[in-house]
Chains A and B, each alone.
Chain A
Amino acid sequence: MIEILLFFIGASLLLYVLFGGADYGAGILEMLPAGKLREAQKKVINEAMGPVWEANHMWLVLVVVILFMGFPPVFTTLMISLHIPMVALLVGIVIRGCAFTFRHYDAVQEPRSQRVYTILFALSSVWTSLWLGIIVASLNRGRMDMHTQHFYDAYVAPWFGIYPLTMGVFVVVIFAFLASVYLIGETQDLELKRMFTRRAFFLNIFVVLCGGLVFASAEAESSSLLQEFIKHKIALLMMVFATLMYMLLWFVIRRQKTLWVRILSAAQVTLILGGWLFLYAPNALITTEGPMSFYTAAAPPATQLQLVIALIVGSCFIFPSLFYLMKVFKT
């Protein structure tokens, strides 16, 4: 039963990174200089994201619900130790969703208010992705201290440091990369296509560079990320494949093979996330007292059963609807 729940957590995280991540990335791309293509880019982003962003955002809510119903100690530990980054993340989510909707649905489309919405949307996209990365890195950093009375040790030390920060930057770059890859196929305008292709190309270089920096910063903090990977063969293999995928991507992006670019970049991101999850599975997080496993943190069997039923029945409704949504807007 727990395996099914773990599968749903992994799948939701993956879909959140792939779809929600591309949405975040679209906002991040609006920060980059676009010259005279700025308005055209905004239009493509509005059209591509409009119908799907509410649905894409739901994967995160799903993860939260699975955690608090199925693995309450994991949820409460996260919400106590990572209170500050979680609040920062929430502020970003609120401003970002509202700015995007307001930009599109303001009945009076005048340049001044539109500029404000766009700035808020872009800034909060960077901000939220950054904190998402910081939270991810904090999970396995081993600095969550549930017993100290000291404010810094309890609420700052778990997430404050160079390694979470580089992870945050890594996530920003990955999301921007996903968005640029995705947007190549969303426009017919050749000039825009060229711009997104160029960005995808450079951002992919940054993805690999930042990936390296994540390892370096972990070493600098004497977190044993590299050694963990070397010990764990599957995770290591996935990370190696993700890096090799870079060569293939470099090739297909150059040739503007839209479909293949999408598939390969999704595969690359899947391998990175998958490697990460495999590395620490079945641990949910690591505190100063050692790892907290999903198995020891699980809710009683009756609860697990109800959660599995809800997830499976829910999937029977959600996946056909999502498929229909994609069919209507993306073909």
Chain B
Amino acid sequence: MNDLLAARSTMAFSLGFHIIFAAIGMTMPFFMSAAHYFYLKRKRPEYLELTKMWMKGVAILFAVGAVSGTVLSFELGLLWPGFMKYAGPIIGMPFSWEGTAFFLEAIAIGLFLYGWNRMHPWVHWATGLVVGISGFASGIFVVSANSWMNNPQGFTWVNGVVTNVDPVAAMFNKSWLHQTLHMQLAALQAVGFAVGGIHAYLYLKGRARDLNLKAMKIAMAFGAAAAIVQPFAGHFAAQKVAEYQPAKLAAMEGHFKTEKSADLYIGGIPDVEDQEMDYGLPIPGALSFLAFNDFNAEVKGLDQFPKEDWPPVVITHISFQVMVAIGTLMAILGSLYFYYLYLKKFPNNFLRALCACIPLGFIGIEAGWVVTEVGRQPWIIQGFLRTSEALSPIPGMQFHFYLFLLLYLFLGFVTVWLLKRMIQATQKKFEVPHD
């Protein structure tokens, strides 16, 4: 493994690890607050139990998310000093706001976790809500910093010297809106389906049925709504990518030759040697329509770019397909959820489908993130700076890679083990009430 690959892989799993905890950390507090709200309104003990169970989950996941986020803030410099040298002054602004939001979140979570019976119940409830709101805001700030890497603005670049820095223009670049919208919805969707799925599973197993059904409904209310809106947000995002990052779009779609009325492929494996798509199912003109709302529009292919500027086509294409497939499935299940809610009866097969969705949303997030990041290669700042030029000069990056891989695997394992212990303990407690 050379240093560049080791550094990229380190960044990949650090972010891939953090993104799961970040998604949970910024959306699950809303589920928790909803359960807490129902408890305060209706005084039913199962809502209190549910609030406390989710709260403990939030506490554990928040801590892991917070420390892995701290690691990332250092790793930006430890791995990519050549990037931070330029990017810090231009795109540091959303990070400084993220810092503020995250600070508030850290304070609010202390108040909520330990504040039972120390504050007015509704003030206490509000602190839980602040955890969610500030977490959600952090997510928006961080993703808008990432969108700048995809669509850099707010500076003048002459031979590697940056002038005319405008941090505000950099933050509100033309990609920030579609990227944040897409990501925040994805977080709600993935976490909603995961939590809903876990409770559907426990419900099917016949454990504490009332509790689990209520829990499933709260989580799915968020997850299903987000899943239904997501395809529209995704379509909006794809159109922006077509406009600002045509090479990324071409890689996403495995689109080699520039043409009018371009086909959209469902599935398929791009053959980079022969520059064609194998095994895919083509839909005539659909790519042109999706990208530009016009069946005859010309879509730029990879042939418009020098080969050394091509993103890894196979990885980008497959990740994109995985993301779209998961998104579509979830949109269908989300619609069905509201239909069954209206009928007031959830068929067992639907609940089984939800169980299957527990990991799907996270796989979708990871796939989507691969599309964004790998699809931008070989650039770290699209069109200005290559990833290889940003790499730290320190040799032996593979040691860094192994060290953090080991640490994160261990942490991930312990976290899952802890959550399992927690769910089992709560279920037991609720099945055999003891006073």
Q: Could you list which residues of chain A lie within 8 angstroms of chain B, going by C-beta atoms?
A: 50-55, 57-58, 60-62, 64-66, 68-70, 72-73, 75-76, 78-80, 83, 86-87, 90-91, 93-95, 97-98, 100-102, 104-108, 151, 154-155, 299-300, 302-303, 306-307, 310-311, 313-314, 317-318, 321-322, 324-325, 328-329
Contact = CB atoms under 8 A, between A and B. Distances in A.
B74 A105 contact: no
Contacts of A87: 78, 400, 403
B165 A72 contact: no
Given A105-B59, A317-B100, A318-B107, A65 B71 contact: no
B84 A54 contact: no
B411 A98 contact: yes
A300 B60 contact: no
B205 interface: no
Contacts of A78: 77
B60 A76 contact: no
Interface stretch (B42-50, B256-264, B288-296, B388-396): B388-396
B426 interface: yes
Contacts of A106: 418, 421-422
A311 B394 CA distance: 33
Contact of A72 (B88, B395, B403, B425): B88
Contacts of A53: 110
Nearest to A324: B111
A53 B395 CA distance: 35
Given A302-B166, A314-B97, 9 more contacts: A68-B76, A86-B78, A87-B400, A101-B64, A102-B60, A303-B89, A303-B165, A306-B93, A314-B100
Contacts of A303: 89-90, 92-93, 165, 167
Contacts of A300: 89, 163, 165
Contacts of B395: 151
A108 B425 contact: yes
A255 to B, nearest CB: 31
Interface in B197-253: none
Interface string B273-307: 00000000000000000000000000000000000
Contacts of A90: 70-71, 74
Contact of A98 (B64, B73, B93): B64
B176 to A, nearest CB: 15
Contacts of B99: 58, 61-62, 65, 310, 314
Contacts of A54: 62-63, 66, 106-107, 109-110
A310 B106 CA distance: 18
B191 to A, nearest CB: 19
Contacts of B403: 87, 91
Contacts of B418: 102, 105-107
B104 interface: yes
Nearest to A298: B89
A48 to B, nearest CB: 11
15 contacts: A52-B110, A54-B110, A64-B74, A65-B95, A69-B96, A70-B89, A73-B85, A76-B77, A108-B425, A154-B394, A300-B89, A303-B92, A306-B92, A307-B96, A329-B114
B424 to A, nearest CB: 8
A94 B411 contact: yes
A307 B106 CA distance: 21
Contacts of A100: 63
Contacts of A98: 63-64, 67, 411, 414
Question: Interface majority SS on B: helix, strand, loop or mixed?
Answer: helix
B407 A94 contact: yes
Contacts of A91: 403, 407
Nearest to B86: A72
Contacts of B93: 69, 303, 306-307, 310
Contacts of B411: 94, 98
Contacts of B341: none
Given A64-B74, A65-B96, A91-B403, A80 B394 contact: yes
Contact of B92 (A57, A69, A97): A69
B167 A302 contact: yes
Nearest to B154: A302
Interface string B392-427: 111100001001000100010010001001101110
Given A69-B96, A105-B56, A306 B168 contact: yes
B89 A79 contact: no
Given A94-B67, A302-B165, A307-B92, A55 B76 contact: no
Nearest to A77: B81
Contacts of B67: 93-94, 97-98
B104 A317 contact: yes
B224 to A, nearest CB: 29
Contacts of A310: 93, 96-97, 99-100
Leading 8 A-B pairs by shortest Cβ distance: A69-B92, A79-B77, A314-B100, A299-B89, A101-B63, A54-B106, A51-B110, A310-B96
A306 B407 CA distance: 36
A22 B425 CA distance: 33
B102 to A, nearest CB: 7
A102 B119 contact: no
Contacts of A61: 70, 73, 99, 102-103
A89 to B, nearest CB: 8
A76 B394 contact: no
Contact of B103 (A58, A69, A94, A299): A58
Given A76-B85, A98-B414, A310-B97, A321 B108 contact: yes
A299 B92 contact: yes
Contacts of B64: 98, 101
Contacts of B110: 50-55, 325, 329
B425 A60 contact: no
A149 B96 CA distance: 34
B385 interface: no
Contacts of B394: 80, 83, 154-155
